[in-house]
Structure 1
């Protein structure tokens, strides 16, 4: 709430870190690891990917807590993929499903449960995914079904490995990049590169190359424009060049044409 109030007063979204939780351990009700929000924000900020990036899921049975529609929105927001929410699952079984989210109480002898087990797909309840985000770093074993703990751990490790590979790629020095990173000419920050506009055309032959966050523009923009963007100074220069003011001919020059 303090963050929204301060952002409203400033007329733009402020840096989140000063308003973020920085405590260790769980919240008083035990529902959230107090370090989790910061962890996922930094991941998104650094890689552009959410908590469920690369995760492929099928849902079988009723989803009560959270409801199916809520689960679908959360997985999508976290860059995961729900392949199917009802049978048949045949065409997905051999495609590398990370988890089958199965409703509690579904018997092991169920036909589709048997198919999941046959293909070594870990079966979990929806709370596995909830706590994967909210209680990052804490054990998820109690949410694994039918003794598929080893497979669940394998999927977890594979997802973690993919995230680490992305981190390593981002941390690797880029010989082709300039030594100086582009920073916003308004707020001075080089963060949030996904919403940083660079004053230039597609060829790089026009514009001064300064950076500006979309929300630091005057007036602020809500989305990154698809067309070329130029700062106010370069826009003025370009408009002047495209619409030159015709100078009045002097009396002398006009008389010479007579």
Structure 2
């Protein structure tokens, strides 16, 4: 199966899944049986992905944020159930997440998946096309790594994630993403203001993608609302530009490559070092047949590389030692 977009050349359908681990494994088998391709199973976004399968209730995760920003298909699990019954991958649109309302938690405008998918089909690029931003301070929600992946997925550019920013003021900066609570008197905040760079928190980008049509004013800092409005208008005009000679992007670039063989291919046979919640692990990838000894299948549980496994064991031992020490003192 290939994706037929008006604005871009046809490209193979790559599926990335959300939901419970066992459900994901079952759907992976369905996709392979129907000759589809499965991205590596990770809580992170994969640049290969063209189709995101997400169960109800839909949540504002990194995968959703990136799928929407990139203009990928965001589909209900019914799509795979119906495709399995039909014995082939069906047309996607009847199974697309789309409704003129917010999700129950108010985090997503359900018009977003179709809006950004149609933008990709019409123009050949994502929601952040041409956007140039800098990041100053700590990114907690979403984390910096998530922001990097999503901005890239949406065809934007992060110019810098820490000072100095001096050389960047000579070129265009659309937004400065600044951590909440950064004082206005801060030296770099003053520089952003002096160069009329709109200052916003990270949720400005999140809600621009996940809640299109809703006000972003509350995410603007230091009374830079007029500058932010102008930058947003320029971004909206820019993303509507149609790429004259669109080319299928090479999604393997900067995606996870196997630490053993160096290849980024066979994403469905690659395991990623890390916990499901992202709390532990380095994100390194390795094909199951490149391991020593090799594995026959992708494990259903979290997997950690030898180095991270050793670190985890060391932390556990240290905690145990501290507990024993505390007990002996008592």
Q: Normalising TM by the smaller chain, what interval?
A: 0.5 to 0.7
Distance 1:128 1:147 in 2: 14
Distance 2:247 2:129 in 1: 19
The structure-2 alpha-carbon separation of the partners of 1:164 and 1:77, relative to structure 1 and needing over 3 Å to count, comes to closer
TM superposition score normalised by structure 2: 0.49
Kept after mapping to 2: 8 A contact 1:94/1:119: no
Correspondent of 1:20 among 96, 107, 113: 96
> For 1:137, what is the secondary structure of its paired residue?
coil
Per-residue CA deviation, residues 93-147 of structure 1 (Å, 9 max, x unaligned), is 1211000000000000001001100110000000000000000111000000000
Task: Note if 1:119 corresponds to 2:195.
Answer: yes
Matches within 5 A, 1:201-220: none
Per-residue CA deviation, residues 59-97 of structure 1 (Å, 9 max, x unaligned), is 000000000001100000010000000001111112110
Q: What are the ranges of 5 or more consecutive residues in structure 1 without an aligned counterpart? A: 171-191, 196-221, 223-258
Q: What are the ranges of 5 or more consecutive residues in structure 2 without an aligned counterpart? A: 1-76, 250-265, 267-330
Alpha-carbon RMSD across the aligned residues, in angstroms, is 2.4
Distance 2:169 2:153 in 1: 24
The structure-2 alpha-carbon separation of the partners of 1:8 and 1:109, relative to structure 1 and needing over 3 Å to count, comes to farther
TM superposition score normalised by structure 1: 0.62
Distance 1:9 1:100 in 2: 49
> For 1:166, what is the secondary structure of its paired residue?
coil
> For 1:93, what is the secondary structure of its paired residue?
helix
Distance 2:247 2:85 in 1: 24
Distance 1:7 1:127 in 2: 36
> For 2:127, what is the secondary structure of its paired residue?
coil
Q: Name 1:228's counterpart in structure 2.
A: none
Per-residue CA deviation, residues 149-205 of structure 1 (Å, 9 max, x unaligned), is 0000000001111233439x79xxxxxxxxxxxxxxxxxxxxx9959xxxxxxxxxx
Q: Name 1:161's counterpart in structure 2.
A: 237
Task: Note if 1:33 corresponds to 2:109.
Answer: yes
Q: Which has the larger radius of gyration?
A: 1
Higher RCO (CA-CA < 8 Å; seq separation 6+): 2
Q: Name 1:79's counterpart in structure 2.
A: 155
Kept after mapping to 2: 8 A contact 1:100/1:124: yes
Q: Name 1:53's counterpart in structure 2.
A: 129
Q: Name 1:144's counterpart in structure 2.
A: 220
